[in-house]
């Protein structure tokens, strides 16, 4: 029996989101009855040569970020490789790249924050203003401008995120903002700094400042006060795209004829207390929002949520509505609707499959709900969304 073909997957040992990307790679590779060999060592010419001699792989996927951000593509020679998240400005035009759609991520943040009662907005860059951070700023500011809103921007001069100098600059910036203000941070680590700086300045969060991050890194999002609302990119789709491209490259013997850059957008907005001004004052409401956020698309019923309150179902609904502006059932439906829209933006997802991921018993139930909620069929909404995206 012939041995299974191998794909090498290079990932930084400290890379936060490698698991979801790797899971996406395995979705594609293992269906072909191949195997994935992970390498947690920064690639060098010597290491690449040794690994190719040992495994004779079909090719390699390099998950970039952190210390891997600007890996020299030349060390892989003519071997089939696909990069995930590499800086496109330092990558040869012939290389294949999968990247997060930074502008679409920023537009998702703008949609979420515009739906609040906040009238003032700001964007906070990561420590060294990487290109991806600048793209997020641009997408956020453009989306706000379309809706008649302006965006204040924090660009740090200190390169060390979390340093004393960086924190002083950030505190000064927050103090100049017109309150209340909704802040979109470049990522969750930056958002954590925003909440810390706001606390040092004596601002309430949410209240004076609502904060949203990107990545949904739970060690930060679930363990900071208030818990952090964050956009979760569709990392698994990114992994699937990379694996599909690598297999195509290997089978064509390096003569790739498809698009050399493919992108993946946000998966969902994970709502937590940092953007719920009143809910943070009521622990039962905050816990209810967390439960709805986790389980709304898994068939959650309003009666289960109401059980979190030490009162009657009617009183629970009234407390929830005072804090959020919606009933418990309306909040469940809002999460389900947003999830359906996120899936509709991904044209590779079949319409009939979407109900399985939104908590509906069958596609027809979702169709009726979506039409009532939006006034459009799912097909029409998908077409309209695609045209709007193309117009940016």
Find out whether 153 and 183 touch, Cβ atoms under 8 Å. Answer: no
Ranges of residues in the chain with a pLDDT under 70 are: 1-3, 14-18, 66-69, 158-162, 277-281, 387-392
Q: What is the Cα–Cα distance from 148 to 237, expressed in whole angstroms?
A: 33
Residue 335: CA atoms inside 13 Å, Cβ hemisphere, count?
Answer: 29
List CB contacts of 186: < 8 A, sequence separation 6 or more.
Answer: 123, 124, 125, 126, 132, 133, 136, 137, 214
The tokens for 6 are: 């191998």
List CB contacts of 267: < 8 A, sequence separation 6 or more.
Answer: 232, 233, 234, 235, 236, 237, 342
CA angle 233, 355, 214 (to 5 degrees): 15
- DSSP, collapsed to helix, strand or coil, labels residue 238 as helix
Domain 6-100+234-266 matches domain 103-233+269-277 at the CATH topology level: yes
Q: Where are the domains of the chain?
A: 6-100+234-266, 103-233+269-277, 278-387
Written out in words, the top-level CATH class of the domain with range 278-387 is mainly alpha
Cα Dmax for the chain: 69
- DSSP, collapsed to helix, strand or coil, labels residue 44 as coil
List, for residues 208-261, the tens digit of each pLDDT value: 899 999 998 888 988 888 889 999 999 999 999 999 999 998 888 777 778 899
Annotation: CATH topology of 6-100+234-266: Rossmann fold (3.40.50)
CATH dotted code for 103-233+269-277 = 3.40.50.2300
List, for residues 1-46, the tens digit of each pLDDT value: 456 899 999 988 765 556 889 989 999 998 889 999 999 888 999 9
DSSP string, 298-344: GT--HHHHHTTSSS-HHHHHHHHHHHHSS-HHHHHHHHHHHHHHHHH
Burial 284-296 (b: 16+ CB within 10 A, else e): bbbebbbbbbebb
Q: Which of 296, 285, 290 is nearest to 339 (CA)?
A: 296
């Amino acid at each position: 029996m012939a041995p299974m073909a191998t794909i090498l997957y290079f990932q930084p040992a400290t890379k936060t989101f490698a698991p979801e990307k790797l899971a996406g790679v395995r979705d594609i590779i293992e269906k072909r009855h191949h195997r994935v060999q992970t390498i947690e060592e920064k690639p060098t010419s010597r290491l690449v040569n040794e690994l190719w001699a040992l495994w004779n792989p079909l090719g390699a996927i390099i998950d970039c970020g952190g210390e891997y951000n600007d890996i020299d593509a030349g060390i892989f020679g003519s071997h089939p490789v696909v990069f995930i998240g590499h800086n496109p400005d330092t990558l040869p035009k012939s290389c294949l790249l999968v990247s997060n759609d930074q502008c679409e991520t920023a537009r998702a943040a703008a949609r979420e924050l515009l739906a609040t009662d906040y009238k003032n907005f700001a964007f906070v860059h990561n420590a060294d203003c990487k290109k991806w951070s600048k793209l997020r700023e641009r997408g956020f500011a453009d989306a706000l401008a379309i809706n008649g809103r302006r965006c204040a921007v924090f660009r740090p001069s200190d390169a060390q995120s979390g340093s004393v100098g960086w924190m002083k600059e950030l505190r000064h910036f927050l103090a100049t903002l017109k309150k209340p203000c909704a802040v979109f941070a470049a990522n969750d680590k930056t958002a954590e700094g925003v909440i810390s700086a706001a606390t040092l300045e004596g601002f309430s969060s949410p209240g004076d400042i609502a904060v949203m991050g990107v990545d949904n890194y739970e060690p930060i999002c679930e363990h900071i006060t208030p818990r952090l609302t964050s956009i979760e990119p569709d990392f698994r789709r990114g992994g699937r795209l990379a694996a599909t491209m690598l297999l195509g490259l290997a089978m064509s013997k390096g003569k790739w004829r498809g698009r050399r850059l493919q992108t993946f957008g946000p998966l969902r907005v994970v709502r937590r207390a940092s953007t719920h001004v009143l809910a943070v004052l009521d622990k039962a409401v905050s816990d209810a929002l967390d439960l709805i956020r986790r389980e709304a698309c898994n068939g959650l019923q309003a009666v289960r949520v109401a059980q979190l309150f030490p009162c009657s179902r009617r009183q629970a609904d009234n407390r929830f509505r005072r804090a959020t502006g919606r009933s418990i059932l309306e909040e469940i439906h809002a999460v389900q609707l947003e999830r359906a829209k996120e899936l509709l933006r991904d044209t590779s997802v079949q319409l009939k499959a979407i109900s399985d991921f939104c908590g509906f018993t069958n596609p027809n139930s979702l169709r009726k709900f979506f039409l009532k909620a939006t006034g459009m069929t799912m097909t029409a909404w998908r077409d309209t969304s695609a045209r709007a995206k193309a117009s940016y």
